[in-house]
Amino acid sequence: MKSDLEELIEAYEIEKVELEKQISEYVGEGDYIYAHYHNKALRKINRRLDVLKGLHNPFYRDIMEEERRTSNLRNLMAKTGYIDYSGFIEKEIDKSESKIQELQRSTFSPLYDSQEIDDALFDLEKGVIKGFKLNFKSPNIFARFTLGDHIIEIKILYDASPDNYYLDIFEDGRQLRALGFKLTEGQWIYHYHFDQFKDALEIKIILARLIYDVFHYDSRYDSAKIVYD
């Protein structure tokens, strides 16, 4: 059975294929204005897919990085008149391809299980728990979840002072505002309003963007866990 995250990725992949098909048709017909609009939509889809795939597989970005490196090296090899006398480029390509295969075979635990965050949010909404924290960045940057009147309140906080780069994110706030967080009494807060809580999809998309786009979660250095009140 597919998780809702996998189903969302699949839906975006289908939309991506359709957009690419439409762009190709518009370009073929010389309708560059519509091709341009569809290309803007395609870029948005690609950004969302990048975030969601990174959420689903912690090795995704490493694989993409090695694939880009391999592609650049192959393009260099294909240049007219270029000769790799020492065989260095071919060795580097082989090295990257081996790394990709190794990463693809690697087993992993997702940053947080899709169902686990669902369970935590539904337990919060039902009053089974008072709140919980999702820790996702060292040193201890986390999202704090509590229940209000027809809202789930999410605060972005830290237990220990983060380094200057992440401290700038809290102080500047532009990236957090772009996700819908508001600065209230010195804390960045997001209010998810609902009349009847049905699923956690919107919250999980916000979390994915927050964790990967804003704070750049790295499975090599960061650990993620849910802590219940």
Tell me: do 158 and 179 sit in the same domain. yes
Tell me: do 66 and 19 sit in the same domain. yes
Q: Encode pLDDT of 199-210 as tens digits.
A: 777 888 888 888
Q: Report the range of poorest mean pLDDT among 5-9, 18-22, 161-165, 198-202.
A: 161-165
Count: domains in the chain? 2
Tokens found for residue 204: 């999980």
Tell me: do 101 and 119 sit in the same domain. no
Q: Encode pLDDT of 107-147 as tens digits.
A: 765 555 557 888 888 899 888 999 999 888 877 889 999 99
Tell me: do 84 and 101 sit in the same domain. yes
Last residue of a domain, one of 105, 125, 142: 105
Q: Encode pLDDT of 150-185 as tens digits.
A: 899 999 998 866 677 788 889 989 999 999 999 999
Tell me: do 64 and 144 sit in the same domain. no
pLDDT of residue 205: 81
Tell me: do 122 and 223 sit in the same domain. yes
Tell me: do 124 and 80 sit in the same domain. no
CATH of the domain at 223: 3.30.1460
Tell me: do 100 and 139 sit in the same domain. no
Tell me: do 77 and 180 sit in the same domain. no
Last residue of a domain, one of 64, 82, 105: 105
* 61 vs 82, more confident: 61
Instruction: Report the pLDDT averaged over residues 11-19.
Output: 92
CA count, 13 A, side-chain hemisphere, 197: 20
pLDDT of residue 162: 66
Q: Encode pLDDT of 25-66 as tens digits.
A: 999 999 989 889 899 999 988 888 887 787 777 788 888 899
Long-range pairs of 193-200 with CB within 8 A, sequence gap ≥ 24: 193/150, 193/151, 194/150, 194/151, 194/152, 195/150, 197/121, 197/122, 197/125, 197/152, 199/4, 199/118, 200/117, 200/118, 200/121, 200/122
Tell me: do 135 and 86 sit in the same domain. no
Instruction: Report the pLDDT averaged over residues 63-82.
Output: 84
pTM listed for this prediction: 0.57
Range of the domain at 144: 114-228
Tell me: do 66 and 95 sit in the same domain. yes
Tell me: do 25 and 84 sit in the same domain. yes
Last residue of a domain, one of 105, 126, 144: 105
